[in-house]
């Protein structure tokens, strides 16, 4: 098991390794395997990349993100400009049913609402808008509309976990009720925990996922 000093070094090195992250603006604190990121970044996309980098590091039990986005002057946009850009980027993405998504912008903070059929469409909309100049945060309130066929959904999710997630699927429990999935069990790191959740979301008919998987090193 890694100590906090070694874990902190691994996190710093992973942040520095990722070309999408400017690690010079990020502070790293570690306490009993819980990593806290502090500081200021120039874009929301960079914040997402930093979070993903930390989750890849073995030994991270939990992640607290206290990063904020401070845009350089030449990246500043009015709310109207951001709203138009967000509408355009959703319209141009063939994977997103843009006609069913509504956009609200206030002081650079974007709120997305509406309904989609698949979780990947919800996340595609989130990441598309997060990459725009001027966006400081995204509140994703898009709902995944349940499909009508709920037969053997739990078995299909379990099979997806075995195919997609690099972990021992026998350590994960899956329960389903009316499209709501609850995951349980234990896994050794955050990356595997997130991979299992993504596999669950990829099943048709999933409207929500409660990830109760614990990290057990």
Instruction: Give which of 170, 174, 168, 178 is closest to 197, Cα–Cα.
Output: 174
Contact of 85 with 132, CB cutoff 8 Å: yes
Q: Where are the beta strands (DSSP E) in 108-192?
A: 109-116, 137-144, 172-177, 180-187
- Does pTM top 0.75 for this prediction? no
pLDDT of residue 102: 96
Give residue 58's pLDDT.
87
Domains of the chain (ranges; CATH) run 4-69 (3.30.1340.30), 73-144 (3.30.1340.30), 153-215 (3.30.300.130)
Helix, strand or coil, per DSSP, at residue 179: coil
DSSP symbols for 14-45: HHHH-TT--GGGEEEEEETTEEEEEEEES-HH
pLDDT computed for residue 176 by the predictor: 86
- pLDDT for residue 163: 82
Burial of 166 (0-12, 13-18, 19+ CB in 10 A): exposed
Written as six digits, the tokens of 153 are 């959904």
Give per-residue pLDDT as tens, 59-87: 898 999 999 888 777 767 899 999 999 99
d(CA 174, CA 197): 10
Residue 107 has what DSSP assignment? Answer: T
Distance CA 112, CA 129 (A): 9
Q: Write the pLDDT tens digit of every residue in 170-200.
A: 888 988 887 888 999 998 888 888 888 888 8
Q: What is the structure's pLDDT at 217?
A: 65
Q: Which residues of the chain have pLDDT under 50?
A: none
CA distance 23 to 19: 9
* Predicted pLDDT of residue 150: 56
């Amino acid at each position: 098991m890694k100590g906090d000093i070694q874990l902190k070094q691994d996190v710093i090195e992973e942040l520095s390794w990722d070309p999408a992250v400017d690690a010079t603006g990020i502070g790293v604190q570690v306490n009993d395997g819980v990593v806290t990121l502090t500081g200021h970044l120039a874009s929301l996309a960079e914040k997402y990349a930093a979070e993903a980098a930390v989750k890849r590091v073995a030994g991270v039990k939990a992640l607290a993100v206290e990063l904020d986005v401070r845009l350089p002057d030449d990246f500043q946009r009015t709310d109207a400009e951001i709203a138009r850009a967000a509408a355009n980027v959703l319209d141009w993405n063939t994977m997103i049913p843009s006609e069913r998504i509504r956009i609200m912008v206030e002081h650079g903070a974007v709120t997305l609402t509406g309904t989609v059929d698949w979780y990947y469409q919800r996340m595609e909309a989130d990441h598309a808008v997060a990459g725009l100049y001027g966006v400081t945060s995204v509140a994703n309130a898009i709902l995944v509309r349940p499909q009508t066929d709920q037969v053997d959904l739990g078995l299909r999710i379990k099979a997806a976990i075995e195919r997609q997630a690099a972990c021992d699927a026998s350590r994960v429990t899956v329960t389903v009720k009316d499209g709501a999935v609850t995951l349980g069990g234990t896994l050794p790191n955050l990356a595997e925990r997130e991979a299992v959740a993504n596999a669950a979301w990829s099943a048709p008919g999933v409207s929500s996922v409660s990830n109760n998987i614990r990290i057990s090193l």
